[in-house]
């Protein structure tokens, strides 16, 4: 599939998806979402991809839904087009949640509406000092999408999530870090370089073990301790038979850094 509104790069085990409509702050129209669904499904099933990062072109991460597309059809957007939008966001959120590959959101600028909720679907979030979030759905009398009401309470707690969603106030990068939404805040002038290096570390890591840990952590939020311990025991046995485990042990004996292959 040829992409018009996104960029996809696969280099050295890292897949980078870039929202590429900088002239409209990477606002998401139906075409962009269709391309995102295709790209996300592609990188999730590609065995050569060991980590995924997504970001925005220009000064914004994403301004969310394309208001001109939504409001410029005199109400006709309600119906088939809106259903396509919702199902696309569901597919993307589900794919990122279910893939065992670590997923990083590199938030380089404003992330509002659907753009904000899109960042919540990542396993890890990096924020530029110029990044900020606006969960403005309440100001348009609609609900958060991209699984926002599932992900955000698990990241920052239910009441903080409610406050952000009920009031729709702006959240800057430092505050996002303080409440646990962002794992790191990076100076804007170094953001592109450092976010890529961060994601590349994951791609070079023991991605089989990382992926298994991701699955167990996610399941642990949905089930009880006994079920998690049983799955953890099963998963650990699989790790003990992996090539990466052998390499990790050998590297420890030889006092060197391990070279993992994700197998």
Q: How high is the pLDDT of residue 180?
A: 98
Q: Going by DSSP bridges, is the β-strand pair 6-11/14-19 parallel, antiparallel, or unpaired?
A: antiparallel
Q: How high is the pLDDT of residue 103?
A: 99
Measure the CA–CA gap between 208 and 211, rounded to whole angstroms: 5
Domains and CATH numbers, the chain: 6-203 (3.90.226.10), 207-253 (1.10.12.10)
Measure the CA–CA gap between 218 and 211, rounded to whole angstroms: 11
- Tell me the backbone φ, ψ of residue 121, rounded to 5 degrees: -80, -10
Kindly give the confidence (pLDDT) of every residue in the chain, 263 residues in length, as a single tens digit, with 9 standing for 90 and above.
799 999 999 999 999 999 999 999 999 999 999 999 999 999 999 999 999 999 999 999 999 988 777 665 445 555 555 678 788 998 999 999 999 999 999 999 999 999 999 999 999 999 999 999 999 888 877 788 889 989 999 999 999 999 999 999 999 999 999 999 999 999 999 999 999 999 999 999 999 999 999 999 998 888 766 666 666 666 666 766 777 767 765 765 677 777 777 77
Q: How high is the pLDDT of residue 144?
A: 85
Minimal CA–CA distance to 173: which of 121, 133, 122? 133
Identify the helix (H) or strand (E) that includes residue 198. helix 191-203
Q: How high is the pLDDT of residue 74?
A: 47
Query: Counting Cβ atoms within 10 Å, is residue 62 exposed (0-12), middle (13-18) or buried (19+)?
Result: buried
């Amino acid at each position: 599939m040829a992409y018009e509104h996104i960029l996809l790069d696969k280099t050295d085990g890292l897949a980078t998806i870039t929202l590429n409509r900088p002239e409209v702050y990477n606002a998401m129209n139906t075409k962009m979402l269709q391309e995102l669904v295709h790209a996300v499904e592609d990188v999730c099933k590609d065995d050569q991809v060991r980590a995924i990062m997504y970001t925005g072109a220009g000064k914004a991460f994403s301004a969310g839904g394309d208001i001109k597309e939504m409001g410029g059809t005199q109400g006709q957007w309600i119906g088939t087009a809106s259903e396509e939008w919702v199902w696309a966001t569901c597919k993307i959120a589900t794919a990122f949640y279910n893939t065992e590959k670590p997923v990083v959101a590199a938030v380089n600028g404003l992330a509002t509406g659907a753009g904000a909720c899109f960042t919540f679907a990542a396993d890890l979030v990096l924020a530029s000092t110029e990044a900020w979030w606006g969960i403005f759905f309440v100001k348009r009398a609609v609900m958060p999408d991209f699984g926002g009401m599932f992900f955000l309470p698990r990241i920052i707690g239910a009441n903080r999530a409610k406050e952000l969603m009920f009031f729709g106030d702006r959240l800057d990068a430092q505050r996002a870090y303080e409440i646990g939404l962002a794992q790191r805040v990076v100076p804007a002038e170094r953001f592109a370089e450092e976010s890529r290096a961060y994601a590349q570390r994951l791609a070079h890591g023991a991605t089989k073990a990382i992926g298994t840990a991701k699955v167990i952590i996610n399941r642990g939020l949905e089930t009880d301790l006994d079920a998690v311990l049983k799955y953890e025991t099963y998963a650990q046995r699989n790790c003990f038979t992996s090539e990466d485990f052998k390499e990790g042990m050998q590297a420890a004996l030889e006092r060197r850094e391990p070279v993992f292959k994700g197998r």
